[in-house]
Amino acid sequence: MSNKKRNLRASFRKNREVRTRDKDFTQRFHQEVVDEDTDPRSERISGRGELTRKRTVAGAEVIEDASGTLILPEIDPCSSVLGRVLRVQGLVSYVSTEDKQILSCATRRLLKTLTTDQRHVIAAGDRVWVRRAGEGEGIIERIEPRHGVLSRTSRGRQHVLVANVDQILIVASAAEPRLKPNLLDRYLVTAERNAIEPVLCINKIDLVDPAALLPITGVYGQLGYRILLTSVVTGQGIARLAEQVRGRESVITGQSGVGKSSLLNLIDPDLNLPVRAVSSESQKGRHTTSTAELIPLAGGGYVVDTPGIRQFQLWDVIPEEVAGFFRELRPYVSSCRFPDCTHTHESHCRVKEAVSTGQIDARRYASYVQIQRGDSV
């Protein structure tokens, strides 16, 4: 990591500059004013012209954060204020400043055109420096280094759902829609990968016999994961959930229709978030929350409500790393006969032996194999 400010030669996205076309060449040709002796026969684009994909960023810092390599342009602290991104809608980011003002902000062109793996430059929860540009408006000049990033792969790029959180509430429903254990495991791998404390919240327990949840809750509980059983109808577990998020920086995520917004409305009735019922035909949730939004809570702290997700493809996790993010597999991976064992088909594999003897849950192992192969949910 380097904090030294310097003139940095940085890569920019393709087609950052649009080449101006010589529109009057044909007209000049027909007017017979083209001088064949002086007009160039060809043109060559050098690495220093307007069309190059590299630019020099003056006074920049380079740092590695939770979302990759970050370039921090120089800013004027006298004309800029520090703020927190509440939500991003299209090209506009809504930022809450330190003096509790909410500014509608555009993003500095330099930030938008730097080459990056990220699908969007700004995410909910980002700490940013904003230069005021009118009444209630501003321009985001710089993004501060991130921690606690929840992201997934989307069209081959990193989709940062939220940044700078220390807790992830993974909400699933006991029924309507059905619980997807493999989706929970993907969230848990991401939480382990990014050092975010995970909490499993199984909602709508009033729709099933609680004993039917023991095979799921028992396995995760033995692994040390915190589990909350909640019901919006009966109010069970709501007080524990409210205590869990009080004073914390949390993100709440899960499938559409599991009741994320309904739970938040019970925790803080002043929020009055919109909710929709699950489709009676497909038993799938309907998208109600359209964008991730940072919501301050009356009891202290904040929570980021995210849109429902039906697929969650891991970002920046290679197959060889997956076993290390499964808590029950970690003690066995170093005892396999082959150092490059994938724990899927090899002989003398300690992980497979532990599965056959019941030391590792067979369902969790099947989930590991699916993630390790790169299969979708």
Rounded Cα gap, residues 21 and 205, in angstroms: 65
Interacting residues of 172 by C-beta distance below 8 A, sequence separation 6+: 179, 180, 183, 184, 200, 201, 202, 203, 254, 255, 258
Q: What is the CATH number of the domain that holds 357?
A: 1.10.40.50
The 3-state secondary structure of 160-202, one letter per residue: EEECCCCEEEEEEECCCCCCCHHHHHHHHHHHHHCCCEEEEEE
Provide the residue-wise pLDDT of the chain in tens; the chain has 377 residues. 445 556 666 666 665 555 555 556 566 656 665 565 665 555 554 555 554 566 666 667 777 777 777 778 888 888 899 999 999 998 999 999 998 899 999 999 888 877 677 888 999 999 999 999 888 999 999 999 999 999 999 888 899 999 999 999 999 999 989 999 999 999 999 999 999 999 999 999 999 998 999 999 999 999 999 999 999 999 999 999 999 999 999 999 999 889 999 999 999 988 888 876 654 444 454 556 678 999 999 888 999 999 888 788 999 999 999 999 999 999 999 999 999 999 999 999 999 999 999 999 999 999 999 999 987 76
Among 305, 336, 363, the domain boundary falls at 305
> Is residue 214 one of the residues assigned to a domain?
yes
Structurally, the chain folds into a number of domains equal to 3
Nearest CA-CA partner of 201 in 166, 154, 236: 236
Among 146, 171, 195, the domain boundary falls at 146
Q: Which two tokens stand for residue 251?
A: 């993100």
Q: Which two tokens stand for residue 235?
A: 């109010």
Give the pLDDT of residue 59. Answer: 63
> Is residue 36 one of the residues assigned to a domain?
no
Q: What is the CATH number of the domain that holds 266?
A: 3.40.50.300
> Is residue 252 one of the residues assigned to a domain?
yes
Rounded Cα gap, residues 240 and 238, in angstroms: 5
Q: Is the same domain home to 256 and 198? A: yes
Q: Which domain holds residue 88?
A: 56-146
Q: Is the same domain home to 195 and 298? A: yes
Distances (CA, A) of 64 to 70, 115, 147, 222: 6, 15, 10, 35
Q: Is the same domain home to 205 and 297? A: yes
> Is residue 2 one of the residues assigned to a domain?
no
pTM higher than 0.85 for the full model? no
Q: Is the same domain home to 141 and 228? A: no
Q: What is the CATH number of the domain that holds 71?
A: 2.40.50.140
> Is residue 51 one of the residues assigned to a domain?
no
Among 106, 126, 146, the domain boundary falls at 146
Q: Is the same domain home to 164 and 285? A: yes
Rounded Cα gap, residues 228 and 224, in angstroms: 13
> Is residue 243 one of the residues assigned to a domain?
yes
> Is residue 112 one of the residues assigned to a domain?
yes
Rounded Cα gap, residues 124 and 301, in angstroms: 15
Burial class of residue 272 (count of CB atoms within 10 Å of its CB; 0-12, 13-18, 19+): exposed
Peptide bond into 274 cis (omega under 30): no
Q: Which two tokens stand for residue 138?
A: 């501003």
Phi, psi of 170, deg, nearest 5: -95, 105
